Structure 1
């Protein structure tokens, strides 16, 4: 059963080594992410599942100790998912797959905060999954242990300004506002109702992960809190907790 969740953005720029001279611009987002992970630790879960946008249609599972890298961004930095000393099963080919960038950012956040509270697993979900598919995945994850926590990675629109990756789209700000409201209110119906086509046009990476969260939270009775919301670089970032 889901006992807590944290929602965080997933830009590689969240990692200071990647952001370099621009690192201070995301200090507030990093601080909010740290607070959100504190809520997960306080819930004392039996298992933590990190959910984020994946490279494949998915869902693709990544066991504890799966590795990720930021070398593609010109930084000599590698990360590992989960607790120090955690091990994937012998011969588990899944552990040889590199983490998608969003799960690598999550692994960095967990390492930064010294996560050692529960075993960790990663799940990548592709933007092609329907809301119903996402909800089903979420329900399966929530049923995986007596006390499950989710760390849900994903960005809102990338079309908030003229210099944004997706250029300015007037639909972006209202879309992001509804996402922020739904995450802050733990509004499952609103998250599952997000328009998949519009999300794709606005270059939203978090739609499928948020809908997995909505499915996992069914019947859990969790309340939400929005800790951070902003759009640096024209991309919508939100941090929220459910507990």
Structure 2
């Protein structure tokens, strides 16, 4: 059963070494993410599942390694999912690597951690079913759902300007902040693809996991630096 959840975005710029001189611009976002992870720890789960969009979907074990090498000149930051020995042969996808960095910053040791990469085209019904399966995996499950909102909020955004992006993000932020699983499940997968909201799959997996859990939500951050929607929410 799901006992707590956190929603965080997954830009590599969250890592100060990657952001370099621009790092202070995202201090508030980093602080919100760390606060959300702290709520997960306070729930004392038996198991933490980190979910994020991935080009190579599937499970990633505790100890799976990732890296931010190549994201900037001289950047050599390596991360590992949870504590313990190095495990797994596949490197963590970007979304799970950012999550591993966040968990490392908080010194996560509350419960075993595992990662799940989700293919961005996964349809809503399958996302919800995946979430239900996660929630049934232990008596007390927590989920850290990684993913960005639209990447089309401004002319200089990675996906250029799409007039529909702001409304999509507003609906997503409201649903995530209120832990409204029905509204999250109703997010339009095709529109999410068109406005490049890669977090849609993670959020809908979380919605499936949270069905019937009766969790309350709080929106900790909602902004679009660089023209990309970033949301942080805490459910408990």
Q: Deviations over 1:150-184 (max 9, x none)?
A: 00000000001110001111101010000000001
How far apart are the structure 1 equivalents of 2:168 and 2:130? 24
Q: How does 1:1-243 map to 2 (within 5 A)?
A: 1-56=1-56, 58=57, 60-74=58-72, 75-83=75-83, 85-86=84-85, 88=87, 95-243=88-236
RMSD across aligned positions (CA): 0.9
SS in structure 2 at match of 1:6:
strand
Q: Gaps (5+ residues) in structure 2?
A: none
Deviations 1:123-159 (A, max 9, x none): 0001111110000100011111110000000000000
1:92 maps to: none
Alignment: residue pair count: 234
After the TM superposition, list the runs of 4 or more consecutive aligned residues in structure 1 that deviate by more than 6 angstroms: none
Report deviation, 1:43: 0.2
Whole-angstrom distance in 2 between the partners of 1:216 and 1:236? 23
CA distance in 1, matches of 2:140, 2:86: 21
- Report if aligned partners of 2:152, 2:159 keep a CA contact under 8 Å in 1: yes
Counterparts of 2:41 and 2:221, CA distance in 1? 19
What TM-score, normalized by structure 1, do the two folds share?
A: 0.95
Q: Distance in 2 between matches of 1:114 and 1:14?
A: 17
Structure 1 residues without counterparts, runs of 5 or longer: 89-94
CA deviations 1:13-67 (Å, max 9, x no partner) are: 01000000000000000000111011000000000000000113x3x00000000
Native 8 Å contact 2:65 2:86 kept in 1: no
Is the contact between residue 80 and residue 86 of structure 2 (CA under 8 Å) also seen in structure 1?
Answer: no
Distance 2:220 2:6 in 1: 10
- Give the TM-score taking structure 2 as reference length: 0.97
Q: What secondary structure does 1:183 align onto?
A: helix
Please state how far the C-alpha of 1:87 moved relative to its aligned partner. Answer: 5.8
Q: Does the residue aligned with 2:7 lie in a helix, a strand or coil?
A: strand
Report the alpha carbon displacement of residue 72 of structure 1 after superposing the two structures with TM: 2.6
3-state DSSP of counterpart to 2:211: coil
